[in-house]
Amino acid sequence: MYDLCIVSVSPEETNSPSDVEVVLYSDGACAGNPGPGGWAFILHHLPSGKVLEVSGAVPLTTNNQMELQAAIEGLEHLKRPTNVRLVTDSTYLKKGITEWIHNWKRRGWKRKTSNGLKPVKNVEQWMELDELVQKHKVFFELVRGHSGHPENERCDELAVQAYKDLQATDTDGQGLTNTD
């Protein structure tokens, strides 16, 4: 099962799958919530067939932060404005950037709760992701996690391995990044 959504630089622009130049698969993982976590992405440049896998980890984080970081890191690797299909298993990421963010920004990065307005969680990452999405035309695809989607499964494997590697080697508390 998947859901599709388009985020464009301007409302009159649309981005169909045939326009896509790069497919960005992203995932985050966390051992405990909070706990040590990892993020990973796979960039697949369709015209050339080139594939890049990158992962990283931080010592204390949440799963949602790692989902956001994976998308941010992947979009940061693009060298110019690009038509991107971003494939994620995170409803939080997809709904946040395609639905919730408009009201958050209108309210000064606050979210509505039963007790009034509260600061948006992970606001620095949401702001960074918002800025990156404005540079590209991003077509979001939501896939079910752990359902056999090969690239999603690979991203999960990379993210988990990243935090396991961090736990085994991180002595300064700064985290690590792996590029294959």
Q: Is 165 a catalytic residue?
A: no
Identify the active-site residue in 28, 38, 56, 175.
28
Find tokens 């990283």 and name the residue: 56
State how far the Cα of 63 lies from the Cα of 68, in Å rounded to an integer. Answer: 9
Q: Is 146 a catalytic residue?
A: yes
Identify the active-site residue in 12, 49, 146, 173.
146
Identify the active-site residue in 89, 136, 149, 175.
89
Q: Is 89 a catalytic residue?
A: yes
Identify the active-site residue in 37, 151, 156, 175.
156
Peptide bond between residue 150 and the one before it cis (omega within 30 degrees of 0)? no
State how far the Cα of 14 lies from the Cα of 11, in Å rounded to an integer. Answer: 8
Q: Is 67 a catalytic residue?
A: yes
- 78-108 burial, b at 16+ Cβ within 10 Å, e below that, comes to beeebbbbbbbbbebbbebbbeebeebeeee
State how far the Cα of 157 lies from the Cα of 138, in Å rounded to an integer. Answer: 24
Identify the active-site residue in 53, 67, 73, 141.
67
Q: Is 156 a catalytic residue?
A: yes
Q: Is 28 a catalytic residue?
A: yes
Please report which residue ranges of the chain form alpha helices under DSSP H.
Answer: 63-76, 91-95, 101-106, 123-135, 150-169
- Calculate the alpha carbon distances from 128 to 18, 46, 83, 103, 115 in Å: 27, 26, 18, 17, 27
- What amino acid positions are annotated as catalytic residues? 27-28, 67, 89, 146, 156
